[in-house]
């Protein structure tokens, strides 16, 4: 009897770090949450005389990347197919609660090609690392068809790379943190989010030790007055972290950030939450030698604004004791049109994660 074709499917969440950015690498506890946007990997395996892999990445249903690889050497099976037209979709509304669209700069064909080359290189690095961790992965006389569907704009910084790593780790039956630390220089919190159905307090313990992960209830009653605003700028976490020295952080600041993360996770008082946001910004700004985002750009905002993740790009968080419509209108008037409420961004347990 000939061997049958097999099909497998995995799903991993995107992520946001609410508190603890940068200082998480010094051991501070970070508050993080899985988001409602995710990445799905579907793999079909069938017998073949020449082992190979065809990989397709789609972004919100639009083809972004196609690569054919010979195995096990990862040499091109064929030249990656160039897409015709504009297949890099601009940010758009996703769900009734997403307010407007983000300004999206024009991306030339040359820039797209370079980005696709970088994405192909990263994919190959992830697959090679998974093969090192599990020599049986992608072994044997088989051909694999893999399709990765990213359900959010890649520019948003919600974890297109980390959710990919999580899915490949599932596929390869390897430890997702071990795979992450082989190919990335972050704290790994995004891997915890990729596989969690609840917000969490995360503590980085180095690249050779599993992190401390504690689920938490972070679901404030003032969620309707808490929004996430897309800055319109993609920020590389890898580059940002390389410019930060975790060894210079004082123990008292590590303790303060950890305490702020805990407070933000559990408080049901909006004023207390905003005070924690402002305190966190002041501590982090001192180590980055940067002015807090609100002081620079939103001094007239009637609430608090906090940077998230790598400062200077991706999403930031805003909270105010005002109706949500008024908060959204403020940022629209400032030219920021992708404003996602907490209630829309947070992970909803009715959606399946994992195998």
Least confident range of 3-12, 73-82, 137-146, 159-168:
73-82
Structural domain contains residue 1: no
**Cβ-based burial of 20 (10 A; exposed 0-12, middle 13-18, buried ≥19):** buried
Beta 212-215 vs 200-203: how paired, if at all? Answer: antiparallel
Structural domain contains residue 296: yes
Counting Cα atoms < 13 Å in the Cβ hemisphere of 182 gives 21
What confidence score (pLDDT) does residue 105 get? 37
Residues 204-246: tens digit of each pLDDT: 999 999 999 999 989 999 999 999 999 987 555 555 566 678 8
Q: What is the CATH number of the domain that holds 14?
A: 3.30.230.120
Number of structural domains (the chain) is 1
Residues 175-194: tens digit of each pLDDT: 999 999 999 989 999 999 99
Least confident range of 82-91, 111-120, 291-300:
82-91
Domain extent for 60: 8-83+94-345
Cβ(241)–Cβ(331) below 8 Å = no
């Amino acid at each position: 009897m000939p061997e049958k074709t097999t099909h497998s499917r995995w799903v991993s969440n995107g992520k946001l770090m609410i508190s603890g950015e940068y200082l998480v690498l010094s051991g501070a506890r970070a508050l993080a949450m899985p988001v409602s946007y995710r990445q799905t990997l579907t793999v079909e395996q069938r017998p073949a005389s020449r082992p190979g892999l065809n990989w397709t990445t789609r972004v919100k249903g639009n083809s972004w990347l196609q690569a054919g690889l010979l195995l096990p050497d990862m040499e091109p099976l064929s030249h990656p197919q160039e897409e015709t037209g504009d297949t890099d979709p601009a940010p758009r509304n996703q769900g009734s609660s997403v307010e407007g669209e983000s300004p999206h700069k024009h991306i030339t064909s040359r820039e797209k090609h370079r980005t696709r080359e970088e994405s192909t290189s990263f994919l190959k690095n992830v697959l090679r690392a998974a093969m090192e961790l599990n020599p049986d992965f992608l072994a044997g006389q088989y051909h694999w068809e893999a399709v990765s569907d990213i359900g959010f704009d890649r520019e948003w910084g919600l974890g297109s790379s980390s959710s990919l790593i999580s899915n490949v780790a599932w596929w390869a039956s390897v430890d997702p943190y071990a795979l992450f630390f082989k190919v990335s220089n972050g704290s790994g919190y995004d891997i915890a989010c990729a596989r969690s159905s609840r917000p969490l307090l995360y503590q980085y313990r180095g690249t050779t030790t599993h992190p401390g992960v504690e689920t938490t209830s972070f679901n404030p009653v003032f969620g309707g007055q808490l929004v996430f605003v897309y800055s319109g700028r993609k920020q590389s976490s890898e580059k940002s972290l390389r410019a930060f020295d975790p060894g210079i952080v004082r123990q008292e600041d590590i303790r303060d950030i950890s305490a702020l993360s805990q407070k933000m996770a559990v408080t049901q008082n909006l004023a207390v939450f905003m005070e924690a946001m402002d305190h966190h910004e002041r501590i982090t700004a001192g180590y980055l030698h940067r002015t807090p985002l609100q002081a620079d750009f939103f001094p007239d905002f009637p609430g608090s604004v906090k940077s998230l993740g790598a400062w200077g790009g991706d999403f930031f968080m805003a909270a105010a004791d005002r109706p949500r419509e008024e908060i959204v209108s403020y940022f629209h008037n400032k030219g920021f049109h992708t404003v996602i409420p907490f209630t829309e961004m947070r992970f909803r347990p009715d959606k399946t994660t994992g195998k």
